């Protein structure tokens, strides 16, 4: 937990699944490649089995195509929320995309008006090592790793693929160290609450507990 109001929070934000809708354009690719016809709400888990592969692998395969990265639709209002956050905090985008995707990623961010301080190409499930105070992600595994290995706040953005897999963060939610938010628009209010608790209890209190 941030210990002083003199230091801005560092807010880490995932890209795929939080800022950009990585699922909607991969579905027709899956239909062409595998002959499986899926709808958005059919994606009920991050690694949904698809014959000899899974959803996560199909997304990684799609990321090899610059047009998939370039044309990915942003979630409604995402750029406005990130801009609001950056007025108050340092904003670092943390993505599990490969470093080779960086030019296409940078172009997409510029084209869609995202305002941020830095971009980090991270290992999946290791987003706890980049020095942020808050992580906003759509993958339960990333949020669980973050709260287990830092004193920060993990926010899971509600998506169809993470609704069945929240057991690992439930104890952290009860401790105030994690939360599920219905949309990005809820983030500024949630961070207001987090900062208020930091000021009222600078020693950390409940939110500084490292194990559930």
Helix H segments across 35-137?
A: 55-62, 66-71, 78-86, 102-111
In this structure, the answer to whether residues 49 and 129 fall within a common structural domain is no
In degrees and rounded to multiples of 5, residue 86 shows phi and psi of -70, -25
**pTM of the full predicted structure?**
0.91
Residue 2 domain-assigned (yes or no): no
In this structure, the answer to whether residues 31 and 81 fall within a common structural domain is no
Number of domains in the chain: 2
For the sheet containing 90-95, what is the strand order?
A: 118-121, 90-95, 10-13, 134-137, 153-157, 178-181
Coil vs helix vs strand at 44: coil
- Give residue 131's domain range: 10-21+75-208
In this structure, the answer to whether residues 136 and 184 fall within a common structural domain is yes
Per-residue pLDDT 10s for the chain (212 aa) are 444 445 789 999 999 999 999 999 999 999 999 999 999 999 999 999 999 999 999 999 999 999 999 999 999 999 999 999 999 999 999 999 999 999 999 999 999 999 999 999 997 768 999 999 999 999 999 999 999 999 999 999 999 999 999 999 999 999 999 999 999 999 999 999 999 887 776 554 434 444 56
**CATH (domain of 123):** 3.40.50.1000
In this structure, the answer to whether residues 153 and 199 fall within a common structural domain is yes
β-pair partners for 16: 20
pLDDT at 1: 46
Residue 112 domain-assigned (yes or no): yes
């Amino acid at each position: 937990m941030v210990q002083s109001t003199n230091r801005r929070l560092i807010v880490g934000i995932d890209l795929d699944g939080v800022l950009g809708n990585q699922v909607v354009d991969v579905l027709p690719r899956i239909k062409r490649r595998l002959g499986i016809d899926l709808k958005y709400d059919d994606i009920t888990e991050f690694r949904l089995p698809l014959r000899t592969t899974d959803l996560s692998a199909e997304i990684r395969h799609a990321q090899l195509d610059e047009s998939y990265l370039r044309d990915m639709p942003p979630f409604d209002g995402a750029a406005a929320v990130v801009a609001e956050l950056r007025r108050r905090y340092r904003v670092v985008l943390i993505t599990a995309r490969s470093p080779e995707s960086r030019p296409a990623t940078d172009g997409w961010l510029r084209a869609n008006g995202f305002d941020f301080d830095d971009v980090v190409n991270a290992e999946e499930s290791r987003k706890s090592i980049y020095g942020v105070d808050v992580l906003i992600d759509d993958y339960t595994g990333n949020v669980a790793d973050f709260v287990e290995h830092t004193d920060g706040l993990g926010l899971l953005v509600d998506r169809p693929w993470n609704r069945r897999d929240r057991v690992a963060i439930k104890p952290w939610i009860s401790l105030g160290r994690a939360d599920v938010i219905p949309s990005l628009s809820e983030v500024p209010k949630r961070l207001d609450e987090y900062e208020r608790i930091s000021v009222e209890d600078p020693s950390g209190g409940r939110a500084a507990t490292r194990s559930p």
